[in-house]
């Protein structure tokens, strides 16, 4: 099932300013918390990162990384990119996914940046 994004007036490309990631053998762009894939005909599809062994949706209370200071609260304007993952939203921190969970961040695995 694909969901075509209607009236998408921004053209994603190598220099469009959005973070490009590798997903399932193709390139997608992170755009306002969505994963956008541009088809050859220029239409834009909504993609979603599946929960997988590379990107598990598990709790990692011991995750300590220097990606941000402890106490950082991820949110719409926190400075990190939102990434749709499974049925939730994660944030891209230093090339991996952070999922805010109580007083810590879960590590939901790496993203391949293009
Ligand atoms: Zn773009
Ligand atoms: Zn994709
Ligand atoms: Zn957790
Ligand atoms: Zn981290
Ligand atoms: Zn953040
Ligand atoms: Zn996640
Ligand atoms: Zn975090």
pLDDT tens digits, one per residue of 29-74: 999 899 999 999 999 999 999 999 999 999 999 998 999 998 899 9
Residue 113 in this model has a pLDDT that exceeds 90: yes
Position 9 in a domain: yes
Ion ligand 5: residues, CB within 5 A, are: 74, 78, 80, 91
Number of domains the chain is built from: 1
Report CA(22)–ligand 2 centroid distance (Å).
Answer: 8
Ligand 2 centroid distance, CA of 28 (Å): 5
In a domain, 81, yes or no: no
Residue 105 resides in a domain: no
Tell me how far the alpha carbon of residue 79 lies from the centroid of ligand 4, in angstroms. Answer: 14
Task: Tell me the percentage of the chain whose pLDDT exceeds 90.
Answer: 84
Does 36 map to a domain? yes
Q: Name the nearest CA neighbour of 63 among 111, 101, 91, 21.
A: 101
Nearest ligand to the CA atom of 31:
1
Average pLDDT over all residues of the chain: 94
Asked if 57 and 99 count as a contact pair (C-beta separation under 8 A), the reply is: yes
Asked, for residue 32, whether it belongs to a domain, the answer is yes
Distance in angstroms (rounded) separating the CA atoms of residues 69 and 7: 38
Distance CA 38, CA 28 (A): 7
109 within domain boundaries:
no
Q: Taking a C-beta distance cutoff of 8 angstroms, is the pair 82, 19 a contact?
A: no
113 within a domain of the structure (yes/no): no
86/15 Cα distance (integer angstroms): 28
Report yes or no on 21 lying in a domain: yes
> Tokens standing for 85?
């993952």
The boundaries of the domain holding residue 29 are 3-47
């Amino acid at each position: 099932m694909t969901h075509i994004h209607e009236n998408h007036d921004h053209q994603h490309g190598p220099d469009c300013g959005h973070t490009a990631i590798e997903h399932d053998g193709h390139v997608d762009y992170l755009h306002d918390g969505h994963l956008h894939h541009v088809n050859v005909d220029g239409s834009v599809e909504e993609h979603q990162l599946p929960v997988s062994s590379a990107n598990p949706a598990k709790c990692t209370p011991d995750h300590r990384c220097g990606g941000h200071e402890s106490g950082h609260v991820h949110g719409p304007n926190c400075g990190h990119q939102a990434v749709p993952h499974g049925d939730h939203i994660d944030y891209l921190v230093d090339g991996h996914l952070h999922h805010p969970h109580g007083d810590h961040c879960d590590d939901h695995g790496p993203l391949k940046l293009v």
